[in-house]
Amino acid sequence: MPAFIYLASQSPRRSQLLTQLGIAHELLLADANEDAESLEEHIQGESPLDYVQRVTRLKLDAAIQRLHKRGLPPAPVLCADTTVALGDRIYAKPADAEDAVRMLSALSGQTHVVLTAVAIGTATQCEQTCSASDVTFAAMSESEIRAYVDSGEPMGKAGAYAVQGGAAAYISRIAGSYTGIMGLPLYETAQLLKRFG
């Protein structure tokens, strides 16, 4: 495994999970003038799997350029992206509280897929993997959904929920990687780092 990597992610959970693996890392975040959100735009007809893998690779390419532009010491860069899909429909981060209510209403009483793609690379090498997990939500009443949205937790989260937060009270079943649902599948990431190292 690499002795040190850069993590190009604003997610505090991803940083905590890397620390859990014992991976020394430093954040490599976008500058204010970078349009990081535009990388997450969905292409019409694109499958959720193709989408999450493409976005992760674009984020990695942007981060490697950032590393070189800043003249930082060379080291591999790790990027990840998580998306929630119900069938072929992608549920990204909610635009506002009403969007979060709409998403959670659709996921209520359903089983959806959480896809987390992970990529690590340098200017000359790249390794990528993807974790897929099934998450089943119990039926949620409108008042339960609104109370959860009012907590503020859904904002900035794919599918408008955090598995490690208050939404756990409504998740009746998980099949797959719990840490993948959080945003960084530890088993797959460890295997990726071994291959890369």
Is a pLDDT exceeding 80 seen at residue 37? no
Least confident of 26-40, 68-82, 95-109, 116-130: 26-40
> Residue type for 104, please?
L
Confidence of residue 50 (pLDDT cuts 50, 70, 90): very high
Task: State the pLDDT at residue 120.
Answer: 97
Nearest to 6 by CA among 160, 193, 188, 134: 193
Q: Cβ of 46: how many Cβ atoms within 10 Å?
A: 14
Given a contact cutoff of 8 angstroms between Cβ atoms, the answer to whether 5 and 28 are in contact is no
61: buried, middle or exposed (CB in 10 Å: 19+, 13-18, 0-12)?
middle
Given a contact cutoff of 8 angstroms between Cβ atoms, the answer to whether 120 and 165 are in contact is no
176: buried, middle or exposed (CB in 10 Å: 19+, 13-18, 0-12)?
middle
Query: Tokens 């204010």 identify what position?
Result: 32
Task: State the pLDDT at residue 139.
Answer: 98
Nearest to 127 by CA among 197, 192, 64: 192
Task: State the pLDDT at residue 197.
Answer: 73
Is a pLDDT exceeding 80 seen at residue 74? yes
Give me the count of residues in the chain.
Answer: 197
Reply yes or no on whether 99 is catalytic: no
The catalytic position among 50, 61, 81, 88 is 81
Nearest to 22 by CA among 196, 197, 191, 190: 190
**For the chain, domain boundaries:** 4-196
Q: What is the value of pTM for the model shown?
A: 0.93
Task: State the pLDDT at residue 154.
Answer: 97
CA 85/CA 162 separation, integer angstroms: 15
CA 151/CA 12 separation, integer angstroms: 19
Confidence of residue 2 (pLDDT cuts 50, 70, 90): confident
Given a contact cutoff of 8 angstroms between Cβ atoms, the answer to whether 28 and 44 are in contact is no
Task: State the pLDDT at residue 87.
Answer: 94
Task: State the pLDDT at residue 34.
Answer: 79
Query: Tokens 């088993």 identify what position?
Result: 187
Nearest to 145 by CA among 166, 126, 123, 119: 166
Is a pLDDT exceeding 90 seen at residue 14? yes
Least confident of 31-40, 79-88, 145-154: 31-40
Task: State the pLDDT at residue 1.
Answer: 78
**% of the chain beyond a pLDDT of 90:** 87
Confidence of residue 35 (pLDDT cuts 50, 70, 90): confident
Task: State the pLDDT at residue 9.
Answer: 93
Residues 103-125: pLDDT tens digits?
A: 999 999 999 999 999 999 999 99
Task: State the pLDDT at residue 118.
Answer: 98
CATH number for the region 4-196 comes to: 3.90.950.10
